[in-house]
Structure 1
Amino acid sequence: MQTVRMGLIVHQDPDYHTQIFSQYGFFFQLKVIKCKAANFSFFMQRLNPTGPNLSCCTNNRSCCNLRREREVSYEIQVLVQEDGTWQEYNTGLITQNFGVTSRTCKSKILKAQITAAPIYVTFAILFPPS
């Protein structure tokens, strides 16, 4: 088993940050959304390998895994320094089956009220043997 960590540094200006991540032919989109003045949502979702979202990211040499579901363990961690003190928000380790339908493709949403910048976000993803 290998843990993959993807990090994002978010500044307060844009309301939306996204990054596409691929491992073992599975594609995930990491998302950070600023909902209101200081309310943020952090989550990831599995992308359908045949969907239109990946057409710009894949090429003829990219491998795609066509399994409908895959068990994935993940943790979303957010670090920010507010008033000189480091604040941490996280989901804890969660194991979930990710599918390609709208009902099964999204992770748990981590919500936090953050007034400082920058925000350091880490998505740790583990693919247990299946």
Structure 2
Amino acid sequence: MSVQQYIARIDELLARPLTGGDAYHLVTLHESRDFAPPNDDWDELMRTSEEFEGELRDLAAALDARWGPHGSMSMEDHANALLDPDDDELPPFFRELCESGYFGDLLYWRVGDRLVAASVGHEDKEEPVVLFAGVTGSYEGFPD
């Protein structure tokens, strides 16, 4: 897919209604093959990860031109909260990202009363690399 096709998918998410304050939509924009044995080529995984990061940079540049500069945040605190059995305060959008193994830095844009987020996720070495986007109506868990 091209950056314009990714943006079209994000526009589709923005057009969909969100029900309730916790509502969100996620979409996979690009997914690699898995890297489970016998396809566990470390060099190819690194090349694929770099390719997906490049696609994220291109997407971010296009969305920056459209909506202004993006924010960036680490998913580390949210990932740590998911691992803490006493912490049940993780916002639903971030819980879904963490449970999907999407721990990479998150880029985000404020678009009206919504937030659009994008990143590259890779749960573990056997799993596919994923470029994804999400739309949420909740600002909970995002920097002020």
TM-score (norm 1): 0.29
TM-score, normalization by structure 2: 0.27
